[in-house]
Structure formats: structure tokens, C-alpha cells
Structure 1
Amino acid sequence: MTSSRQEIMEQQADIIGLLLHHIHAPLIDTERVRGVLPVAAPAEAIRVVVGAAGARRADRLTAYEIPLREDDGLRSGYDVIALLRAVLSTPHSLGAGVGAVMGMPLVRVDPAVVEPAETTPDDLTLRVVRTLVHPFTEDRLKPLLLGFLLLGSDRLRLYLESPKAGPGTTAVDLSLSGALTALLTALPSLIDEQYRTRPADDDPHCARVVDLTDW
């Protein structure tokens, strides 16, 4: 794996931590984060899935693709939030529809034509408090979380970096009503179990899917 690809994956993992707040708190109006998807190499981008609270069906969601690389480095989660707010304020003029992915409209955001939304006092307060509560550390959890998507009221898909499972991203489906604490503890070994694994024919964001919904 190239150092550039590893850099993008680690940045994506950091951005997820910043976007989690918006599962509950709207980005704007009623629009909330419903998922974060990894884009396969060589693209250096992130896809953020947005919809109303409780939205799970693909036809009620929209995926916004935002490039992570910029001239002086990589975009942060705060940069991604500012761009999303700008696009969601006037979606028809700032986003270019490029088709669909997993049944959701896919909109590619061009930062060259988008003026990021202003940072609010609440944003700054959250940034300060989050930094103190969850300080950055070089010691990353394994497997590395690259994304997630709410697939139903009781189904969550996690996108993980797991070299032992094979090349490419591994998706894990789990039941939200299951024994989550025990499952997450056992996850590093469970994602390598071949009899639970199937090809990801319907999901371009991963190479395989491991079904742990019955665990």
C-alpha cells in the first residue's frame, strides 16, 4: 500500500470522528449524516450520505462526494462540514449530479466553485471541548474504521481496513439490537471468517461483505 493511500485512509478515519456528532445534530435544517463511505483508489475523496432523521431507504438519501486533497494538504472534517452546509443550502447550484450509488443520488462537490459556510460559535465550542475530551493520538484502533452506513432500523454496515481479510476494504454488517459490546471486542477475529464472507457485488465501496447480523 502506498504512503499516499494510507494517508487518505487515516484522514478519512479522523473525519468520521468529527462527523459522528451530526448523526443526531443537523448539518442544516433537518439534514443529518446517515453514513460516510470510502471511495476506492486512485480517487482521493470521501462520500458523506445525508438525509432526514430516521431516513434509511436509499431513495431518501443523497451521497455527496468531496475531494480530500487540496493544494496545501488534506481537507479536515471541519472543512467537509463547511462544504456540505454550503451545498445543502443551495444544492442545485453547487452540486453536480453524476448518477447514483447503491440506489442513492450521487452528487460531486467542486470546492473550486463552493464558498464554505461560516464557522459558528457552536462549532468552535464543540471543537475545543472535543479536543480536550478526545485528544488526538498516533495509536489508531485496529481494524481502522473507514466508513459506515445505516442500512435499516436494525442494520449497520461498517467499512474497515483489514489486510488479513484480503486486498481492499472489508464491510461488516451487524445488528444494532445484538450483543454489540461483545461483538466489537471480537470483531478483529470475526472479519477474517471466510464462511461469513461474500463478494460485495452491490457495493462499490468495499471488496467483500462479512455478515455478522446473526452473531
Structure 2
Amino acid sequence: MTDDDYEDIADLQAETVGLLTHHVYAPLQGDQYVRGVMPAPDQAPAVRVVLGAQNATAPGHLTVYEVPLHDGEDLRTPDDIVALLRGATTHTPLTRPAEAAPAVMGMHLVQLDPTQVNEAPFTTDDWTSTLLRTLTRPVAEGSPSRLRGFLFRDAGLLRLYLDSDDIPGVIGAEVKPGGALTALLAVLPPMLEEEWRALPDVDDPHCRYVIDLTDW
């Protein structure tokens, strides 16, 4: 994979995060809400979407769907990814997995085969959401860091996955939503490179390390 190919993958992962954040509060399909979006490990051309009940954080109650981003020689769009996820969850019962089932970070892992999934149609609400998101949240030029993913954690924590032109790879940042958000956003980019802040013994294959910003 060339640097340009990887940057295209990274851009698509970031766009997918922007689309799926809406479904943290509105169900993606049935009673399933988005509980996380993560870049696949090892620069793989895929995105991992975590689904579960509203407000669920316990790994045993969450399912990770890994969706390949390539469609032949082309890349899927974020809307394609939503269509695949809806198709998969419509026809696949979401139950707690057996112990032998594939897992990541304690969550059941499903690697989607798009050829075996009937994509759900794009709805009027989807079009409306896309239009409003484009009008109200344009992509900022020259931003010092970029959100590549997120995951709801126990105890009210949120893990952010970010990258920056100044740091190789994806860095995790553990934060506690609320409080002085403006201050957190101001210090976040430079703190990403402060590896000495990394939490010890973190088992997360989706980033190089995780820094602790919960008390900031």
C-alpha cells in the first residue's frame, strides 16, 4: 500500500466517523446504536463499527463489525458502509457470542463479507442527515489533528482515536466527556505526541498507545 493509498483509507475512515456519530443517539437499525468506530489494526483497509444497545459499554454486550473499504478497485463511501451494517444486522441476530467466537478487546468480532449481505436502501432521513451534516459541519482546513475513531468505555469514559501530521500512526486519548471542553480541545493536539503520558498495559490494537486526559 502506497502512502497515497493509505491516506485515502484514513480519509474514508474519518468521514465514516462523522456519519456514524449521529447514530450514537439515534438507532442505526432496530435497537442497535453505534457504540464505537475504530480504524482496523495494521493499516488494514477496513473500518470497525461497534454496535449495541443504547448506553451499553460492557464488552460482552457489544459486537464489532469489520467492514472492508475496498469495492473492487474503488473505495466504498460512508453511506455504503451504513447500508452494509444495516443489511447485516437485519439478517444476523445479535446475541452474546460463544467463548470460542472471534473477539477483540472482549467484544464479539464479525468480519463482514459484502457479497453475503443485502445492503439496506438509502432513506429520506439518510439524505436529510447528509445534507444537514454537510451544511453545519464542514471539514476544517489545516486542523492540527484528525478524529479517526472513538469508543465508549466503562465509568463514563470515552476513548478518542486521532492522528496528526506531526505523529506517525493513530494515538488513543482517554477523556471524560463534559467539563472544560474548550481547554481540552486546545491541549489535545500537542499532547498526542507525549508518549510518557501513555497508560500502562493497555490492550488496544487500534492505536500505538493511549494517553490519559481524564483529569484535564
Tell me the TM-score normalised to structure 2 length.
0.89
Q: Which amino acid aligns with 1:168?
A: G
**Aligned: 1:48 with 2:49:** yes
In structure 1, the partner of 2:69 is: 68
Q: 1:104 aligns with which of 104, 107, 123?
A: 107
Cα separation, 2, equivalents of 1:163 and 1:155: 26
Runs (4 or more) in structure 1 with deviation over 4 Å come to none
3-state SS of 2:5 partner: helix
Cα separation, 1, equivalents of 2:55 and 2:133: 25
Identity %: 43
Q: Residue 158 of structure 1: CA displacement?
A: 0.5
Tell me the TM-score normalised to structure 1 length.
0.89
- Number of aligned residues: 210
Cα separation, 1, equivalents of 2:208 and 2:151: 16
In structure 2, the partner of 1:119 is: 122
Cα separation, 2, equivalents of 1:136 and 1:170: 20
Q: Residue 56 of structure 1: CA displacement?
A: 0.7
In structure 2, the partner of 1:87 is: 88
Cα separation, 2, equivalents of 1:200 and 1:12: 26
**Aligned: 1:150 with 2:169:** no
The RMSD of aligned alpha carbons is: 2.2
Mapping of 1:1-215 within 5 angstroms?
2-91=3-92, 99-135=102-138, 139=141, 141-162=143-164, 164-165=166-167, 167-198=168-199, 201-215=202-216
Q: Which amino acid aligns with 2:110?
A: V
Cα separation, 2, equivalents of 1:136 and 1:213: 26
3-state SS of 2:115 partner: coil
Unaligned runs of 5+ in 2: 95-99
Cα separation, 2, equivalents of 1:52 and 1:153: 17
1:11-33 Cα shifts (integer Å, max 9, x gaps):
11111111111001101111010
Cα–Cα, structure 1 residues 86 and 164, in superposed 2: closer, same or farther, change >3 Å?
same
Unaligned runs of 5+ in 1: none
Instruction: Check conservation: 2:69, 2:76, Cα contact below 8 A.
Output: yes
Q: Residue 130 of structure 1: CA displacement?
A: 2.5
1:127-168 Cα shifts (integer Å, max 9, x gaps):
23323333456x253311111000124200001113545x32
Q: Larger strand proportion, structure 1 or 2?
A: 1
Cα–Cα, structure 1 residues 177 and 106, in superposed 2: closer, same or farther, change >3 Å?
same
3-state SS of 2:131 partner: helix
